[in-house]
Structure formats: structure tokens, C-alpha cells
Amino acid sequence: ASQLATDSSCSEPRQWKELFDECGKGSQSPINIVTRKVMTDWNLQPFTFEGYDTKQSAKWVIENDGHSVKVTLEESAKIGAGSLTMKYKATQFHFHWGSHGNWGSSPGSEHSIDGERYAMELHIVHRREDVSSDAEAVKHEDGLAVLGFFIKVGRENTNYKPLIDQLHKIDVKGKKGEMEPLLLKSLIPHEKNLTRYYRYAGSLTTPGCNEAVVWTVFEEPIELSQEQVEAFPNTIHFSANPLLRLTDNFRPVQPLGNRTVYKSNA
């Protein structure tokens, strides 16, 4: 894997490969998951989420990096099992979303299932515990493990209120805020509903598109209300200009090529 990009300001995903070789390679993310072609892997056991139910001691830093809303974590939560050969520490999470207008809404998830996309997608990024930085992690094909959770429109999710209430403080690119840490567990579906998931080898979905990610996409979506979903494109701007809204910050699906998508046996 080549080096990690430090500036991905180029906004048009089709052109990424001209600047970043790896964005044009054959094991890219996201993908469309075709359920009739996935293979059951009997080793894909339920995950263990260590520290997902422990309140972190340091404040969370929430940031508008111009591409997403990102929360940097104290590296204390860990995932294991799910056939991962090593433990991985949670380093940050961020969201992908679509757009909304008088004409209706368009979905913003990155992955799709049988061509169907969801309103949003949450990515919890984890780094292999024996690797000390993202720059180091992208040199290994399993350096990072990202957990992808679909978000669908439904009931209001009060667990998300403290986070969504912060968005106005990071309305333009480069702004950061501090917030009281939440339990990671409170942001994702109940563990008993996370036994069904898809697994494949892929990449970061932004430049340099490093093929260093063990992807897990869970079947069970998170629910947020329409208003909570709309808060992202309505509040976040992609530059210093508070007129230019950050919408549709997802990469289109990439060819599966000769890869196989596996499904847990639950």
C-alpha cells in the first residue's frame, strides 16, 4: 500500500485515481453486496466489543474535516473475534450522508445491499493493536478494521441527541468541539442484533484509497429520525464558506472484481 493521503480536497471521486494510484486498484470500497452471491463463512463468529460500554475518560473531539463529521477516540475500546486474527482498537468514527430538499431525499450510505442504499452510514475505524499509527496501518492489508452500520430513517434516537446537538458548533470546515464521551455501545444496535454481518477485503473510501481495510458491514441498521438525519447536510459545510453545504459525502460503489463477500453464519 502506498502512503496515506494527507489532503483529499479533490472532490470528484472519478478523478481520484489520477492523483492517487491506489484509488484505481482492484480491491476498492465501498461495494454493492449481492446477497445471492455471498458465501457463508463458519468462522465469522459474533464480535466481542470490549470497552464499548465503558465511558472514556478523555473528552471526545468532534470535528468537521470538510469531508465528514469525525469523532476522535481515546484508544481504549477494542473489537475482537468476528474471525479477526488480531485485536483492533477503535480510533475514530465518522458518518456519510446524502442530501435533502423540497424534492425529497437521496440516500447517503456508501455500501448497498442488492442495490439498495440507506439514508446514512456510520463507520467506526479500528487499527490493529500492534500498529502505532494510520500511516503504519495502511502498509498492511489488514491494518485497519472498519465497522459499517447502515442508518435508516425511523424513530428519533435519543442516544444520538448529545452528538447531533454539537453539529452547529462545527458548521464550517476545520472547526472542532469537545463533548462529553458517550458509550460507543449506545450508538450502535443491540449486540444481539449484530450477529449477522458481511465481511470482505477492501480499502479506505477516501484518497489515498489504501487497500488496508478488513470491512464488516452489519445487516441491522441504526434508526434516526428524519430530522436527525437531515441535521447533517443542513448544518455541515465543506469549506469555510457557510453557504456551501456538505452533502452526498459518499463514494460510489466500486467493482467487486475477483473478491468474495462472506456472511456470518448467524
Beta carbons of 208 and 3 less than 8 angstroms apart: yes
Under rule CB under 6 A, which residues in 58-87 are in contact with ligand SG4?
Answer: 65, 67-68, 70
Which residue of 27, 205, 235, 254 would you call a contact of ligand SG4, by CB under 6 A?
Answer: 205
Q: Does residue 173 touch Zn ion according to CB under 5 A?
A: no
Q: Does residue 100 touch Zn ion according to CB under 5 A?
A: no
Among 135, 127, 137, smallest CA distance to 78 is for: 127
Span of 72-80, 122-130, 174-182, 229-237 interacting with Zn ion by CB under 5 A: 122-130
Instruction: Kindly list the distances between the CA atom of residue 226 and the CA atoms of 41, 131, 145, 233, 247, in Å, as whole numbers in the listed order.
Output: 36, 39, 29, 12, 15
Which residue of 123, 173, 199, 251 would you call a contact of Zn ion, by CB under 5 A?
Answer: 123
264 binds, among Zn ion, ligand SG4, none (CB under 5 to 8 A by kind): none
Nearest distance, CB of residue 206 and ligand SG4, angstroms: 4
Region for 190 from its dihedrals, namely left if φ exceeds 0, alpha if ψ lies in -120 to 50, beta otherwise: beta
**Residues contacting 6, CB < 8 A, separation 6+:** none
Closest to ligand SG4 by CB, 90 vs 229, is 90
Is the link from the previous residue into 24 a cis peptide, with omega within 30 of 0?
no
Cell of 232: 447533517
Residues acting as catalytic residues: 67
Nearest distance, CB of residue 104 and ligand SG4, angstroms: 25
**Residues contacting 156, CB < 8 A, separation 6+:** 224, 225, 227, 228
Is the link from the previous residue into 207 a cis peptide, with omega within 30 of 0?
no
Q: Does residue 111 touch Zn ion according to CB under 5 A?
A: no
Number of residues that bind ligand SG4 (CB under 6 A): 13
Under rule CB under 5 A, which residues in 189-248 are in contact with Zn ion?
Answer: none
Among 154, 170, 175, 162, smallest CA distance to 229 is for: 154
Closest to Zn ion by CB, 123 vs 126, is 123
Closest to ligand SG4 by CB, 92 vs 101, is 92
Beta pairing, strands 60-64 & 262-263: unpaired
Under rule CB under 6 A, which residues in 124-163 are in contact with ligand SG4?
Answer: 125, 134, 146
Q: Does residue 27 touch ligand SG4 according to CB under 6 A?
A: no
* Chain residues that interact with ligand SG4, rule: CB under 6 A: 65, 67-68, 70, 92, 94, 123, 125, 134, 146, 204-206
